[in-house]
Structure 1
């Protein structure tokens, strides 16, 4: 694999056959041994072997036996491991003294955290974690928060990338969990990508799609994205919708399917509820109205509907173009509606992948580190809370369940208001990744907020911290993690972490021991001591729930492919997880986010049927004006990950995308006198940055800035606001203006 061709050579294959093996690798020295792992710089879950020589990582190769990648690697897999060897790794704890961060012992650093924790009530402590830790670490953190401290204030940066995935799956199917599988690419005859630039966010999955497109009987392809991405250029139909109008498009497409009879009525009658309400809502979205709202050609909407309506095996994938935009959950639920109306779920080639943005985002949702109850349990179901209280042997009232869990954006608001006084940030860099960065900096600087930052390097966030804890990373610790299609991988420790850096699991266990958390009989609350015993504890917690890990042991994960919980596909029998005693949620109003009570859910008598849910499109809360006439969307590049704490330290990746840029449509550029490469100032009501212009085929009236870069950060421009259901921030809805500076 070479940087100029990040997707490598094609290995075409026919529908129904196996994806051929192609092993990608990169090494700087010949390893003396190989250690099993998987990718942690995107959510695809590629199987990887880590090459080690003389106690140091010297290369990687794809695992040919793995079901996810069949040996292929994303460019970030190929080169990103070099960050492990970076000379600027954190190797000792840091504490703030005299206004500066100075090195300290672990005893002093942890002592400060424990001392401050014991001065506070549970409701004054918050945790903001990552989508890049391991399952065992999330579960331990979840037990500390829910059963040790009893705080409801726990979430992660997965709120920024995957919350809508979880919300949409729960709303339609009763619980979280992807219905589909990556192997659906092998069988489908149509692929629809809804706001999903898979070529750059999950490059290996795109390789699989391209190989099908280059084989016999290639699948048709639809792309919905305002940008002219590699996916849009490959697609048979590209709908460059106006940002913030996804729901109007989906309502219009569903109306066309219903009007033209492209619906499996027998499947709908047997396996769903809500058809009449859905029909009533979408009937108000004829093609001319949708074309006007979305700014796309009526003929293209008709073509898209025909492609979707005549498919025999439709695979949909959804990501940030829907999740980080207006009416995010409602639009993503509409994709589920499409598959339910067509009966395209639970069989090879017919499935939905509400994708994740981070490698272990699935685990935050399963284990409760995102604030939900572990095992996809329902916080509003007393029997589910009792199960956990019995499992952990704590009093029922200890576990926060009196209201919905505190989502990340509300955690930051509580910190801003002063009610949260200790904020523990692990494995993430919110001083670059959160919206409206000027506000985030003000929060982190507050005198009354004690900030703990746990990371590999000094980052923009650690510079605000009172205590900084040096963490071990991928390749330096053992644990499991689960990708977007429910595939669980084991990642073995290959090398020691530098200096005194510790695995996140060891840090959390140390905190629990120093806090002396006890169960109601006076025994230690947390009884596990290492990754495998933590995993065994999680297996007990997951037993009998949709994400049941009891059959997936460490031994089964050693040496071969990753394994999926729940089987290759969910809902193969048309029965969904909507029974009132089993479901993860009693539902929410798609427009307001208001939680429905248990009685409302039981009255529907779902009996294992999926919900068809719909609501009307409304204009976005921030739209262009005379002062700010353009729409800003943010996103990713294939060469970088998040805020570049790792990928920015890999020379090959940094060379390809070392700094920020802004994509501008040629007509917008011409009107403003902007030429290719000219430095422009991008301003929103919240801030401004400067970046060189790239003139391209992005939708006119829309500009794009990648969010990875701390210098001239895109999130100086974005707004504080979130979807009412998933609480995911709307990164793709800022109004901006441009002017040429030089």
Structure 2
């Protein structure tokens, strides 16, 4: 069979990397970065480089949703149903609800991972056909504050900069973004730009000392939520020192006097106290920002996911306008998009308060333009419910039917107790999803299988306004359908009930026909793409908007002429006050919970979570605390702690980290019910970090404050523990993970993750007040294949202890294949590395079953993985660094030459540099 290469786009972050998909027949066999794509020029991060490994036949069979499924009764298993019957059922339930309760009794919650064509179909379905604006997207959790900030100040939701600007910037201000983890390929550009221009100043403002902060010339460890105070304080200093550009302010802006009056009280002394920074660092940051020939700001969820998200975005943009740092190479406020097509969703008006092509729902002319384009009398005037409001309304019984597509609110939404109550109370829930393992699938009355990466056809837009084609490399598995196709099929059925006898509003035979209508909606708008076509994208590659009819190419930068898309052509300063956190620390909840990304994982891990190698860098859920906070509370590494907010409580192992500040706790955003068990304050099963987060949101953008919640951290007393680890063939490993995840609810604490770089394995931990019934452990053992006759066993019912192990003969040696330690897990300290590192086990025999036994041959774990591409561990790197000499760059080069770490995707390079710096002489480090 002849291999085929298909040019497409990565489905992960908003960098929008081009990929070359290699396939044979119906199977994707490989993936490479596209050297011709201007977003990445062939580079890919760890997640992108392993995309093909998430499409294996075993993963498709075990994890993918392959047929429509109906759950006749809540809590019962779902049964297969034909597509026509499924769509007829959905249309009937939607139509009946609309006829009885009105169009606002239904709601759609969709995704920044949908393609633009999918987004457009759903938007027209809700607002044009049904007549409700209750359609929102998980981009509300991601980018709505950036949208509001751009519109409030610059007049349109249009990032004015591009990726190439990092090569022209003389000062880079990174705030509220761990780009090293969240946008790794863009961070490679930043590292290269810094190498090529050592004089470029890099400022990083973040409560956590992340790998991104490791690149900084000036690190500002500001207190959580104090960003607006910082930006006002910097402007105060710029005004005091005469560092603003008064000519630019007069010619191109309005509202500066009101802002001057507001920031007058934001003295360096006050700002330093509130932000937890030094006065000298504030002056340095203000000078570098204002006096640099070109200053570029990069920002993401640290500004967006906040109850002051609009203010944070707008007050940062104030600094650019006040210093004329906009509209020229290397300068401008550049919001980094979190998802692969959050920008495309914004283009089609995918949020509950927007309409197509950056039109505002509140504008009667805009509503009339969209109605005329769609061929309907009108579109609804009342803004729809945003994401948080939509689920609150469903929990209260106002929204009765929910359609959820390509997103996992049972993991990603804040205040999970409310979200799950909404999913349980809604009368009919449809989940349109590619992966059956997503937690939200458990709440669905109807499951509809969707195509995924490598199968979809359409377009996406990345952070720099660049539109790329997404092309299918293989046919859809099972009965999966494109998302736009499902939306159109539903719409055509609803038309029979809602507008009988009239021509269809949805005459779309393919994705391109939808895109052409979307293109027409942009005519004359700030994002006009009437000069673009699928053919142009095919022949000339990805293009940036605007690209009007007659243009040869799009615009890399906006506002170079100083004219903005406002009624008077001037940008507007935003005089917005500093408002403290929605939920500040207090005596009962003395820790600031901060959430963020892991380097090798994506969102709720429905895709990345299928690969053990992507758990090498961070193997299991944990909460990171400052070492001093650990010591004060008598906590040791790995101790279970209870992290509690006003909404819920979860149990996690504690880990000491110098990255977090005092009285701060960090939990990665990815850990949800699929990987971690827990319960709400009322005792209901509830899991993951979003059991803790608050649904408080920004009044302007309605984006929730996912980045911060007040919590307390207490040592958990759960004396009975269990550790189960084993290697299994891929299909069995996937089945075992699902089976073990079903067991997690039996324990106050449990976690279940895959592991293994080349092999497939599963790791399960649990803790409880007392031993469970023996049948529970029987089931866990069976899932790991520990019910075979060659299994070694020991049990002590009086102590509630049990140990089981299986050895596997491979060639001349014996290796440990699986084990379960129940009631006493001390031996896990050497059994886990014995198994995971596949060390010979011939010398251990029955010692495998002895509680707390020391092995006759020392077992030295390989250590935590740093380089995912080549499976290079922290210990191996430290050993090699002991022999390295020279400068930082020389030592890094030696390390890379010997171990190859950091020579492929480069995602580990920031951590490698941090480790290299720790070996440098003190004088050189300073």
What TM-score do the two structures reach when normalised by structure 2? 0.72
Question: Does residue 352 of the first structure (1) align with residue 330 of the second (2)?
Answer: no
Structure 1 stretch displaced more, 201-210 or 379-388:
379-388
Find 2:385's aligned residue among 402, 406, 415.
Answer: 406
Contact preservation (8 Å) 1:65, 1:560 = no
Structural mapping, 1:699-714, within 5 Å: 699-710=661-672, 711=676, 712-714=687-689
User: Whole-Å Cα distance in 2 between the matches of residues 211 and 740 of structure 1?
Assistant: 44
Helix, strand or coil at the partner of 2:150: helix
Contact preservation (8 Å) 1:519, 1:525 = no
Find 2:47's aligned residue among 64, 76, 84.
Answer: 76
Change in Cα spacing, 1:680 to 1:80, as seen in structure 2 (3 Å) is farther
User: Whole-Å Cα distance in 1 between the matches of residues 308 and 526 of structure 2?
Assistant: 27
Helix, strand or coil at the partner of 1:558: helix
Gaps (5+ residues) in structure 2? 547-554, 677-686, 718-926
Shift of 1:284: 0.8
Structure 1 stretch displaced more, 363-372 or 203-212:
363-372
Greater RCO (CA < 8 Å, at least 6 residues apart) = 1
Helix, strand or coil at the partner of 2:51: helix
Aligned to 2:566: 578
Question: Does residue 54 of the first structure (1) align with residue 38 of the second (2)?
Answer: no
Structural mapping, 1:623-642, within 5 Å: 623-642=584-603
Find 1:367's aligned residue among 344, 348, 353.
Answer: 348
Find 1:527's aligned residue among 484, 507, 512.
Answer: 507
Question: Does residue 109 of the first structure (1) align with residue 89 of the second (2)?
Answer: no
Contact preservation (8 Å) 1:129, 1:428 = yes
Question: Which structure has the bigger radius of gyration?
Answer: 2
Shift of 1:728: 0.4
Structure 1 stretch displaced more, 159-168 or 90-99:
90-99
Helix, strand or coil at the partner of 1:627: coil
Contact preservation (8 Å) 1:66, 1:560 = no
User: Whole-Å Cα distance in 1 between the matches of residues 616 and 494 of structure 2?
Assistant: 45
Shift of 1:678: 2.8
User: Whole-Å Cα distance in 2 between the matches of residues 668 and 674 of structure 1?
Assistant: 8
Aligned to 2:492: 513
Aligned to 1:546: 526
Aligned to 2:622: 661
Structural mapping, 1:53-452, within 5 Å: 53-85=24-56, 86=59, 87-88=61-62, 89-99=64-74, 100=76, 101-121=78-98, 122-371=103-352, 372-396=354-378, 399-401=379-381, 403-446=382-425, 448-452=426-430
Shift of 1:615: 1.9
Question: Does residue 453 of the first structure (1) align with residue 434 of the second (2)?
Answer: no
Aligned to 2:902: none
Aligned to 1:597: none
Aligned to 1:582: none
User: Whole-Å Cα distance in 1 between the matches of residues 176 and 108 of structure 2?
Assistant: 30
Structure 1 stretch displaced more, 653-662 or 404-413:
653-662
Structural mapping, 1:588-737, within 5 Å: 607-697=568-658, 698-710=660-672, 711=676, 712-737=687-712
Shift of 1:302: 1.7
User: Whole-Å Cα distance in 1 between the matches of residues 390 and 193 of structure 2?
Assistant: 44
Helix, strand or coil at the partner of 2:559: coil
Contact preservation (8 Å) 1:576, 1:609 = yes
Question: Does residue 502 of the first structure (1) align with residue 481 of the second (2)?
Answer: yes
Shift of 1:516: 2.3
Change in Cα spacing, 1:519 to 1:193, as seen in structure 2 (3 Å) is farther
Find 2:464's aligned residue among 442, 462, 485.
Answer: 485
Contact preservation (8 Å) 1:185, 1:208 = yes
Structure 1 stretch displaced more, 265-274 or 320-329:
320-329
| Count of residues paired in the alignment | 682
Contact preservation (8 Å) 1:129, 1:426 = yes
Shift of 1:235: 0.5
Helix, strand or coil at the partner of 1:720: coil
User: Whole-Å Cα distance in 2 between the matches of residues 98 and 148 of structure 1?
Assistant: 30
Contact preservation (8 Å) 1:46, 1:73 = yes
1:84-140 deviations in Å (ceiling 9; x for gaps): 331221110111124421111112211211110111221111000011010011011
CA RMSD of aligned residues (A): 1.6
Contact preservation (8 Å) 2:172, 2:297 = yes
Aligned to 1:20: none
Helix, strand or coil at the partner of 1:120: helix
What TM-score do the two structures reach when normalised by structure 1? 0.90
Structure 1 stretch displaced more, 452-461 or 78-87:
78-87
1:508-534 deviations in Å (ceiling 9; x for gaps): 111112112688992211122201111
Helix, strand or coil at the partner of 2:55: helix
Shift of 1:574: 0.6
Helix, strand or coil at the partner of 1:516: helix
User: Whole-Å Cα distance in 2 between the matches of residues 80 and 654 of structure 1?
Assistant: 15
1:152-174 deviations in Å (ceiling 9; x for gaps): 10101111011111111111111
Shift of 1:190: 0.8
Shift of 1:50: 0.8
1:303-343 deviations in Å (ceiling 9; x for gaps): 21122122111000111111113411111101111111111
Helix, strand or coil at the partner of 2:656: strand
Helix, strand or coil at the partner of 2:5: strand
Contact preservation (8 Å) 2:391, 2:418 = no
Aligned to 1:590: none
Helix, strand or coil at the partner of 2:296: strand
User: Whole-Å Cα distance in 1 between the matches of residues 25 and 120 of structure 2?
Assistant: 33
Aligned to 2:799: none
Find 1:38's aligned residue among 1, 6, 9.
Answer: 9
Helix, strand or coil at the partner of 2:136: strand
Contact preservation (8 Å) 2:315, 2:576 = no
Shift of 1:227: 0.5
